[in-house]
Copies of this chain bind each other. A is one copy, B any other.
Amino acid sequence: MMKKNIKHLINLNKYSNEEILELVKLGEKIYNSPKDYSDICKGKIMATLFYEPSTRTKFSFESAMLRLGGNVLGFSDANTSSVKKGESVADTIRCISHYADIAVMRHPKEGTPKLASMYSEIPVINAGDGGHLHPTQTLTDLLTIHKYKGSLENHVIGLCGDLKNGRTVHSLIKTMARFNTKKFVLISPEELTLPESLKRYLKDSCDIEIEEVRYIEQVIDQLDILYMTRIQKERFFNEEDYLKLKNSYILNNEKIENGKDDMIIMHPLPRVNEISYEVDADKRAHYFDQAKMGVYVRMALITKLLEVE
């Protein structure tokens, strides 16, 4: 029953640099002339299959499809759907293939979107599978960098917070490493440093310089990009360590004072308290622009996968 010639997006590592760059550039092109794309998905239907809730991601995909002139059907929680009746994902996607032209799947279990794509007669997009992959978040980050820094290449990229856990940061690092990143600056408490294997990969396989520090202020002046992430209290071994450290990882105006004028500050959102509200007014803050770019890069992705360009 497996179909041929259908393109999916499950894992960015199956996309060539050219394909990734093409998506990023198409996203920027759509951003610059949205009217040219406002009807190209007329008559097409996207199914958003969210086996766990993720309002932001779901809205971003739906907005993208609607802005291309297409339509949307879906569910946002497997509990209010009958998909829990015991049907296999293989059977579900084969039915969905008849209801829709493209499917977006979020699933708590790693590998489920991959499995679905093997049985699907329509393109499947992985919108997050457990702690594993979330490729359209990475594409969002890439379009943001491309748009606000002019290129994906030759940046000094600071990553701050919990670098041990979190698919967002690992995926961003691995993907940016493919685009001649000048240097990664890793800013985290000792308990939450980037895994050794990933550091070794960057150094040995990619030959990219990395620098590890504990505090933002130590390196702020050299960064082109500062990517913030949330530190969850639960990640610490004890409350004392957490209380001692947390203020070091809350970004505020003081900490970015010595940053470059054209540095951009990013965050995958939602934030809780890791960036002070005062920073929002700084022209270098681009985390809400990321939400915007997320729509455009998804418009590009849908356009490519549906081959309607």
CB distance A73 to B80 under 8 Å? no
> Which of B98, B99, B288 interacts with A95 by CB under 8 Å?
B288
Is A38 part of the contact surface with B, judged by Cβ < 8 Å? yes
Segment among A164-172, A244-252, A255-263, A265-273 that sits at the interface with chain B: A265-273
How far, in whole Å, are A82 and B295 apart by their CA atoms in the complex?
A: 18
Is A21 part of the contact surface with B, judged by Cβ < 8 Å? no
CB distance A82 to B54 under 8 Å? yes
**Nearest-CB residue, chain B, relative to A84:** B53
How far, in whole Å, are A60 and B95 apart by their CA atoms in the complex?
A: 9
CB distance A91 to B271 under 8 Å? yes
Residues in chain B near residue A173, CB distance under 8 A: none
CB distance A76 to B87 under 8 Å? no
Q: Taking the nearest CB of chain B, how far is it from the CB of A143, in angstroms?
A: 13
Residues in chain B near residue A308, CB distance under 8 A: none
Is A193 part of the contact surface with B, judged by Cβ < 8 Å? no
Residues in chain B near residue A59, CB distance under 8 A: 47, 73, 95-96, 99-100
Segment among A63-71, A152-160, A209-217 that sits at the interface with chain B: A63-71
Residues in chain B near residue A95, CB distance under 8 A: 56, 59, 269, 288, 291
Q: Taking the nearest CB of chain B, how far is it from the CB of A106, in angstroms?
A: 10
Residues in chain B near residue A54, CB distance under 8 A: 82
Is A129 part of the contact surface with B, judged by Cβ < 8 Å? no
> Which of B91, B281, B288 interacts with A270 by CB under 8 Å?
B91
CB distance B45 to A67 under 8 Å? yes
Residues in chain B near residue A62, CB distance under 8 A: 73, 99
CB distance B87 to A271 under 8 Å? yes
Is A242 part of the contact surface with B, judged by Cβ < 8 Å? no
Instruction: Using A94-B288, A99-B63, A99-B295 as known contacts, say yes or no to A55 and B76 having CB atoms under 8 A apart.
Output: no
Q: Taking the nearest CB of chain B, how far is it from the CB of A63, in angstroms?
A: 4
Is A178 part of the contact surface with B, judged by Cβ < 8 Å? no
**Nearest-CB residue, chain B, relative to A53:** B82
CB distance B75 to A72 under 8 Å? no
| Interface pairs (22), CB distance under 8 Å | A43-B67, A43-B69, A55-B75, A55-B83, A56-B82, A59-B95, A62-B73, A63-B73, A66-B71, A66-B73, A75-B76, A77-B80, A79-B80, A87-B270, A90-B277, A92-B270, A95-B269, A95-B288, A97-B288, A98-B288, A98-B292, A99-B291
Report the 6 A-B pairs with minimum CB-CB distance, sorted nearest first: A87-B270, A98-B292, A63-B99, A55-B81, A77-B80, A95-B291
